[in-house]
A = this chain, B = another copy of it.
Amino acid sequence: MSDLSVNIVGPRMKNPLMLASGILDETGESMLMAVKKGAGAVVTKSVGLEANEGHRNPTAFEIGDGLGLLNAMGLPNPGINDYEREVKIALTGGVPVIGSVFGRDGKDFSYLAGKMEDYGASAVELNLSCPHAKGVGMDIGADPEEVGIIVSAVSSAVSIPVFAKLTPNVPNIADIALSAVKAGAEGVVAINTLKGMIISPETGLPVLGNRLGGLSGPAILPVGVRSVFEIKQRFMKEEVNAVIIGVGGISSAHDALQYIMAGADALQIGSVMRWKGAAVFGEIASGISDFMDREGYSTIKDMVGIAQEAKK
């Protein structure tokens, strides 16, 4: 019988599937729902210093028939002080809660991470990758050096593991990952959304309130798998031992396995809930388990990164 549990953050996760930041996790009750449906851990909505209403509507929509989502929420969140309530509720689910935070610099991030630690989060995820907010997210996360500086500040401010969430809108995601890990991050999360836009020709206007947004869902799976592959390849070459969490377009066990074999130790699930709801956690977990039984793998670790060894 296959064993899906992984040892990434806090208590051993019963499976490698986490709820991704920003999808059904602004409220504690929603995070609990994901836990109930089988998530092995949950990541909170990205939280900043102050309450923020985000961009004006339209803020998110589906494109194509299941091809993907385009969103420019604009990081709405109640602010770190009000967010204690949500983390505490999420914690009653009994799985690790990872606090996602965003800020402008090492000071912001450290303060926010410290609060998340106080609230009981098992780890923090630094959003260095949101593509549609000014002065935060990928505005500061596309440069390996800046990422190193922020990660290093946070790492010395908290004692829980720190994960850097990376943007794919760069030519060198592996450089950024390496920089984060060398600065003290426990690991990296890849990928956030691709910068995108949809225009309505009849009105001559970009549809999103913010015009620019981020593309997620099935459309970006190959970009995410490639990013994880490149990061793992670099980690192996540099003999760096760090966690990689894969995210982007995962809709099925088949997709999840691609990330694992590329090099991901754990996975996050987001947009697919638009089509399958939170029940997708159970579906993917049992799909992975069936696959492992069929193909003779006993642990997730046995599969991590095996696509790296392909003869070439």
A138 cross-chain contacts in B, Cβ below 8 A: 171
Main secondary structure of the interface of A (DSSP, over half): mixed
A149 smallest CB distance to B (angstroms): 17
Contact of A198 among B169, B195, B201, B225 (CB under 8 A): B225
Segment from A17-25, A73-81, A256-264 that makes contact with B? A256-264
A254 cross-chain contacts in B, Cβ below 8 A: 201
Q: Say yes or no for A226: interface residue by CB 8 A criterion.
A: yes
Q: Say yes or no for A295: interface residue by CB 8 A criterion.
A: yes
Contact of A261 among B201, B221, B309 (CB under 8 A): B201
Q: How far is the CA of A218 from the CA of B194 in the complex (A)?
A: 14
Q: How far is the CA of A267 from the CA of B53 in the complex (A)?
A: 38
Contact B222 A197 (CB under 8 A): yes
How many copies of the chain does the oligomer comprise? 2
Q: Say yes or no for A1: interface residue by CB 8 A criterion.
A: no
Contact B201 A291 (CB under 8 A): yes
A225 cross-chain contacts in B, Cβ below 8 A: 196-199
Contact of A170 among B171, B226, B262 (CB under 8 A): B171
A246 smallest CB distance to B (angstroms): 11
A207 smallest CB distance to B (angstroms): 10
Given contacts A171-B170, A199-B225, A199-B261, contact A307 B194 (CB under 8 A): no
Segment from A62-70, A83-91, A276-284 that makes contact with B? A62-70
Nearest B residue to A171, CB-CB? B142
Contact of A229 among B63, B68, B197, B226 (CB under 8 A): B197
Contact B215 A194 (CB under 8 A): no
Interface residues of A in 213-240 (CB under 8 A from B): 213, 215, 218-223, 225-226, 229
Supply 27 A–B pairs (Cβ within 8 Å), ascending by A.
Answer: A63-B221, A63-B222, A64-B67, A68-B222, A70-B222, A142-B171, A167-B171, A169-B170, A170-B170, A194-B222, A196-B222, A197-B222, A197-B229, A199-B225, A201-B257, A201-B258, A204-B261, A204-B309, A205-B307, A205-B310, A206-B310, A212-B229, A213-B222, A215-B222, A215-B223, A218-B219, A219-B219
Please provide the 4 A-B residue pairs with the shortest distance between their CB atoms, ordered closest to farther.
Answer: A196-B222, A201-B257, A197-B226, A219-B219
Known: A197-B225, A215-B222. 8 other contacts (CB 8 A): A70-B222, A138-B171, A196-B225, A197-B226, A198-B225, A199-B257, A205-B310, A211-B312
